[in-house]
Structures are given as structure tokens and as C-alpha cells.
Amino acid sequence: MKDTMIDVQDVKFRYDPEQPGYAVDGVSMQVRRGEFVAVLGANGCGKSTLAKHFNAILLPEKGTVLVEDMDTRTEDHLYDIRQKVGMVFQNPDNQIVATIVEEDVAFALENLGVPAPEIRERIDESMKLAGIYEQKDKAPHKLSGGQKQRVAIAGVIAMRPDCLVLDEATAMLDPRGRRQVMKTIRQLREAGISIVAITHYMEEAAQADRVLVMSRGRIVMEGTPEQVFSQTERLHSYHLDVPQAAELRDELVKAGIPMPQNVITPEACAEALYALLAQ
């Protein structure tokens, strides 16, 4: 099997061809199989626009997007691509179609023409994976935000995608709902699904394998969370923050206390502090 899931080559896109400015202005990037990529960037920098290229909701004006070697511009592969790359959006209320949880989770499979017994099997599996199996007979509007978002995730992973794109999927949730969704994401990673998470929460990005930073339609930084979050000044210039642990690290360094550069999670921070205290 090929290692690259999604291959974006020099993509340019603008919503209005009359305007000179591009919403996505020459982006090249790859998502590898099983990888967790976090995409950061200020409001309006083109993250959502880029994400919509991954499953052919938008087609590039220049450049190409390949999903497992299928060009998103070829009509014949449209549903193969959408089945391989699932997408979850910010507002769970606006993604749920049916009036019963399990019917909604089955929606994608019904569209794909999967026979009824197989639908049953696959939705049970994905509802268990997303942790909402107990809610399967409920009406979506009776669920909490975190549960609703997991219903939306279950509805997408029922297609058995190889990659899940989350466009600020935790933005409208309270801390508890966010934790539930992050736990589900970790479980999906263990199941071997690639994750692309667009987020404004640096703590979430710190858990990724790789972080991309966008500004004005371009990718301006790329690397492991340690590499990216050690450059506090540069992130500030793109109107972004660093995780709290990294902020503490910077303050300590400023105060003359030596801290390693790669401290970005509370755990790593605690360890570094223990080591200092032990000295």
C-alpha cells in the first residue's frame, strides 16, 4: 500500500475568479497513512478552504489534489474519494440528517447502496468506536454537544474512510465534550485512520504527529509540535499562541531558568521541572 494518503501539489483556489486574491495560494503538502496532522492558522487564512479540497467539495483552480492517486477532478472517482476521506465540521447540529441516531449514522452507507444487513453491522461497529452505541435509539436533539459531534463522527467513519478531516470539530464544545471527542480521535488513530485536525486549540495540536501553520493561504511553518511550538515569537507574528506549557517554558527561560526547547505538554513540563529541582 502506498504511504501517501493525500497529496496536494501547488494548489491555488479563489472563491471569486474576478478577484486577484487567492484563499489558498500555492499550497503543497502530504498526509501520510495513519498520521495525525494538525493545521493551525488565524481566522480567514484558508484552512477550511484547503480542507474542502481533500474530498473534492472544492476543486483546485491550479495544481492537483491526489487522494490515493485519484485526482479529485475526475468525476468517476468522486464517491470513492468522498468515501476515503471523511469530513466533520464545526457545528454538529448542521451535520445530522436523520431524527434517530442510528438512522443518521447509516445515512452515508444508504447513499453508497450498501445492503441492509451490512449497514447494520458497520453502523454498530462505528457507533461503538465513537462511544455512542448506548444512544443509538435517541433523537439527536436530546444529546449533549459532545455526543452529537460523536454521532457526526460515527456517521462518517461508518464509510470506513482512510482519513478523517476535522474542521474545528471541537470548537463549539465544552471541555468535557472536547475531551470525549479527542478520546474518540485517539481511538481512530489506533484503528489506523489518518487524522487531519484544523483547530484553534494548541493543546490539541500538541498531540499531533505533525503541525502545519497557515497564513494568508500559504503554509508558513511545518514540523513536529516540538519544533513548531519552540518558536514562540514566530507563532505570535502569525497571530497564534503556544500551548500553556510552552508559555510557562518561555517565561521560565526569560527568568533565567534553563528549560529544554521541546517542552510543550504539561507532562513534559512537569518532568523538566522535576529534573531541575532534583539538581
Ligand X SMILES: Nc1ncnc2c1ncn2[C@@H]1O[C@H](COP(=O)(O)OP(=O)(O)OP(=O)(O)O)[C@@H](O)[C@H]1O
Binding test (CB under 6 A) with ligand X, winner from 2, 3, 20, 43: 43
The number of C-alpha atoms within 13 Å of 73 and in the hemisphere containing its C-beta is 9
Q: What sign for the dihedral angle of Cα 144, 149, 152, 153?
A: negative
CB of 119 to another protein, least distance (A): 5
Q: For residues 23 and 153, which CB has a smaller minimum distance to Mg ion in the complex? A: 23
**47: contact with ligand X by CB under 6 A:** yes
Of all residues in this chain, which one has the CB nearest to Mg ion in the complex? 48
Which stretches within 166-213 are classed as H helix? 175-190, 202-205
Rounded Cα distance, 35 and 56, in Å = 20
Is residue 169 part of the contact set for ligand X (CB under 6 A)? no
Q: What residues make contact with another protein under the rule CB under 8 A? A: 55, 57, 79, 82-83, 86-87, 89, 91, 93-100, 102-103, 106-116, 119-120, 123, 139-141, 152, 155-156, 159
Q: What are the residues whose beta carbons fall under 8 Å from the beta carbon of 200, sequence distance 6 or more?
A: 40, 168, 171
**Cα separations (Å) of 7 from 55, 63, 128, 272?**
12, 11, 31, 38
The CA-based angle 83-84-89, given to 5 degrees, is 75
CB under 6 A: which stretch of 40-48, 58-66, 228-236, 256-264 binds ligand X? Answer: 40-48
Query: Among 27, 35, 37, 41, which residue sits at the site for ligand X (rule: CB under 6 A)?
Result: 41
To Mg ion, the closest distance from the beta carbon of 92 in angstroms equals 15
Minimum separation from the CB atom of position 178 to another protein (A): 20
* Residues 154, 16: Cα–Cα separation, whole Å: 34
Sign of CA dihedral 33, 34, 40, 45: positive
Shortest Å, Cβ 240 to ligand X: 11
- Residue 32 binds which entry of ligand X, Mg ion, another protein, none, CB below 5-8 Å type-dependent: none
Question: By CB under 5 A, how many residues form the interface with Mg ion?
Answer: 1
Q: Is 126 in the site for Mg ion (CB under 5 A)?
A: no
Q: In the stretch 34-73, what mask flags binding to Mg ion with x, by CB under 5 A? A: --------------x-------------------------
Amino acid letter for position 72: T
Interface ranges with Mg ion (CB under 5 A):
48
